[in-house]
Every structure is written in structure tokens, then in C-alpha cells.
Structure 1
Amino acid sequence: MEDEAKPVKRSSQRRENRKCAVQFLYQWELNKPEQLNDALRVFLETLEQERDYYAFAEELIHGTIEHIKEVDAEILAHAANWKFERIAKVDLSILRLAIYELLHRRDIPPVVSINEAIELGKIFSNPDSKRFINGILDQMKNKIDRPLREASE
């Protein structure tokens, strides 16, 4: 009897782009560059795929940074008893990305943004971050003025 090879589970291109976005947002938080586009170009050149593979990541990065004050205000509003400085930088990057998606990417169902954030927390952070990220995003979803399980555009 022949052994059948099990298929290798691969992340979707969108998840890979979100991972890329979180990594860049983390780097950006630690050392904000003078020229965002130059820093992003250099960052993307270090990755395995060609730059156009990461077009979705670039959209997410630009959108998150463009709306950073609004996004951070939401994090502060929902992170009861947490000082902003105490939030782990990787968790902050994941939350920023997810909240940007929830507020400004109507083409992405809110549950997808929330689930992706939790998965990113499993990849990049510690086991406790899942609860923290989920807690904040669970509160955020109550503010969403559209169906949670479908894109609205």
C-alpha cells in the first residue's frame, strides 16, 4: 500500500500579507522612519515574494498609519485598566491592523478581521495575548454598523 503524502497547510496570500503588515507596523512602532515609502520598499525587498505579492499588505500598512490616531483612540477606549505603554508592541501592531480593518475596510467581513487578528496573535505573541486581543476586538465589534459575517462593498 502506498503512503499518501499529507498536503502541507499553507497560509493564504491574505494571511501572509497581514503577517507582513504586522511585522512592518511593529518595526514602524519601534523606529518611525522619516520616509514611510522608502522604509516600506526596503522592508518588502527583504521578503521572499515579489513586491506586487504584498500589495494588500501595503494597503493595510498605509491605511493603518494614515488612521493611527483614530485607531489608537479605539484601543485606549477598550483597553480598560491598561496603560498604552504597557501593551506589548506586537499585540499593539496586531490590534492596530485589525481595528483599521474594522473601521475602514468594508470589503472585509468584521469576523474575518477579528479571526485573523487572533491567529496573528498565536503566531507572533504569547498565549495570553489571544484573550487580550479578542477582548478588545469583541468590544469593537459592538460598534460596527454593518453585518459581521459579510463584506458590505
Structure 2
Amino acid sequence: MGLRRKSRELALQFLFSHDFQERASTPETVVQDLELFCHSFEVGQKAMPYARLLVEGICLRLDEIDILLAEHSHNWRVERMSSVDRNILRIAIFEMLLADEIPAQVVINEALEIAKHYSIHDSVPFINGILDAVQTAVPK
């Protein structure tokens, strides 16, 4: 497994726990919570820089990401999605917003692989459909 995949999984685990605890997404709170999370669990230090970029970036741009998510998830409200699926989608959309950093198809494939591991079977086509639609809306 690549380093970026580990970073994405770490970000997913943190965002899931953050949602579950209904914690605030202010930059200060996120930084403190991420430090506590890393201290509490065995976190690979090599995966931390990109995971931190993902977590902090998602929290800073959460409204923008959730608007894109809501616009492209027909008949699904963001808050009604499973927390795992919602956060996989948030990670992928944030990576797409980074534009030139990672090709959209790579982002989508990574999201699908993570969904296969952390979510249910039916989530894979659900996530794929939303990310395909978002991909066309995100400026390149």
C-alpha cells in the first residue's frame, strides 16, 4: 500500500471519529484533535504530512466541498449519507480541488479502493457515480 493511501485512510479514520463525536471543525479544534488522535493511536509518521494536509484542507473548505457533494448526489442529502461514505467523498473532492496535484481518475480509483475496504459493497458504485459527476464540475 502506498504512502498516500495510508494518508487517505488515516484522514478517513480521523474525519469519521470527528463526525461521530460531533466536534467543531474550526482550525484550532481540528489541529488539537488531530494531535490527540495521533497520540492515542499508532500512526505512521510518514503518512502524517499528507493526512494533515487532507484533514486541515477539508475542514477549511468543508462548506465548498459539501456544496459540490450535495449538487451531485441526487436524492441524497449529505447529512443522510453514511459517515464513512461522506468522508471518503470529502477526501476525494478535496483532492480534486487541488487540481494539478493528482489526476481526477487516480483520485476516484483511490476513493473506490478505500470504499471497498471500509464501506459496504453498494457504496462503491454510489461513490463512483458522485465522483464522476463532481469531476466534470471541478475546474481543471
Task: Say if 1:84 and 1:13 are closer, same or farther in 2 by CA, change over 3 A.
Answer: same
Identity score, percent:
35
Structure 1 residue 87 displacement after superposition: 0.5
1:125 aligns with 2:136: no
Match of 2:97 in 1: 103
1:28 counterpart (18, 39, 55): 18
Match of 2:76 in 1: 82
**Aligned counterparts of 2:139 and 2:33: Cα–Cα separation in 1:** 35
TM-score between both structures, scaled by the size of structure 2: 0.89
Match of 1:64 in 2: 58
**Aligned counterparts of 1:24 and 1:68: Cα–Cα separation in 2:** 15
1:47 aligns with 2:37: no
Match of 2:32 in 1: 38
Match of 1:19 in 2: 9
Q: Which runs of 5+ in 2 are unaligned?
A: none
Task: Say if 1:39 and 1:82 are closer, same or farther in 2 by CA, change over 3 A.
Answer: same
Matched residue SS, 2:74: coil
Root-mean-square deviation (Å): 1.5
Contact 2:4-2:47 at 8 Å conserved across structures: no
Structure 1 residue 37 displacement after superposition: 1.1
**Aligned counterparts of 2:32 and 2:99: Cα–Cα separation in 1:** 25
**Aligned counterparts of 1:81 and 1:134: Cα–Cα separation in 2:** 15
Q: Which runs of 4+ in 1 moved over 4 A?
A: none
Q: How many residues align?
A: 135
Structure 1 residue 105 displacement after superposition: 4.7
Q: Which runs of 5+ in 1 are unaligned?
A: 1-10, 147-153
State the one-letter code of the partner of 1:47: E
**Aligned counterparts of 1:36 and 1:141: Cα–Cα separation in 2:** 27
Deviation digits for residues 58-114 of structure 1, max 9, x if unmatched? 001100111000000011101101122321110000000000111125311111111
